[in-house]
Structure 1
């Protein structure tokens, strides 16, 4: 599962959950597959994601080095080359292979296996 995907997931479908965002990410295994940097892709994606959530997710997997803090980022054009490379790395290259996602409101754990988050729940858990 990419950290880009993590940025869009929530557990709002659970009973008694109002936002269910952001899901707390815990990893057991990660994989990095290098890819060519596409600055246009980064520019387009940055306006759609919650950067503070991405930063915390990157921090939780030990990949926050060289990322600007959420308070420091103004726009993608203000980033230096190292910061762009790290942003690309956490959004595109990093894959969570085994881990879990935790609902911030209920504590419900959703496993990640083979890079796929399992958000299936029992019928009685859905609102």
Structure 2
């Protein structure tokens, strides 16, 4: 699961608000080189929750050098944009968990795929 995917998820727990409240507990990650596309990256930066992205990147040890806020992103600075691209697109959590910060419920990540299905008693 790449951080772009993580940034689009919200906890399905009925007790949780429908916002990004999922932290990553990573057991295994891989870094896979992806083609850099500045236009795509600029469009994605506009859509992501920057604070959640930075927190997730820090938890995976790939957040160094990222701007502290979306307003500090300089799309003309290719070095900065490539750091964002790397954290957002090239770091894949293969095994671990997503944890709802509001309820504590863990959702497993296996083979890079998060399982967000709820148990019958959680519906």
* TM-score normalised by L of structure 2: 0.91
- Mapped to 2, the partners of 1:24 and 1:85 lie a distance apart of 24
Gaps of 5+ in 2: none
SS of the residue corresponding to residue 47 of structure 1 reads helix
Gaps of 5+ in 1: none
SS of the residue corresponding to residue 65 of structure 2 reads coil
5 Å-filtered alignment, 1:83-102, equals 83-102=80-99
The runs of 4+ residues in structure 1 deviating greater than 4 Å are none
Q: How many equivalent pairs are there? A: 123
- Mapped to 2, the partners of 1:76 and 1:39 lie a distance apart of 13
Structure 2 counterpart of 1:106, from 100, 103, 107? 103
5 Å-filtered alignment, 1:70-89, equals 70=69, 73-74=70-71, 76-78=73-75, 80-89=77-86
Q: Flag the 1:22–1:108 CA change in 2: closer, same or farther, 3 A.
A: same
- Mapped to 2, the partners of 1:48 and 1:92 lie a distance apart of 14
For the aligned residues, what is the CA RMSD?
Answer: 1.6
Give CA deviations for 1:16-52 in whole Å, capped at 9, x if unaligned: 2223522011101111111221000011101111011
Equivalent residue for 1:122? 119
- Mapped to 2, the partners of 1:19 and 1:49 lie a distance apart of 15
Equivalent residue for 2:55? 56
Would the aligned equivalents of 2:30 and 2:92 in 1 still touch at CA under 8 Å? yes
Equivalent residue for 1:30? 29
- Mapped to 2, the partners of 1:52 and 1:75 lie a distance apart of 13
Would the aligned equivalents of 1:7 and 1:22 in 2 still touch at CA under 8 Å? no
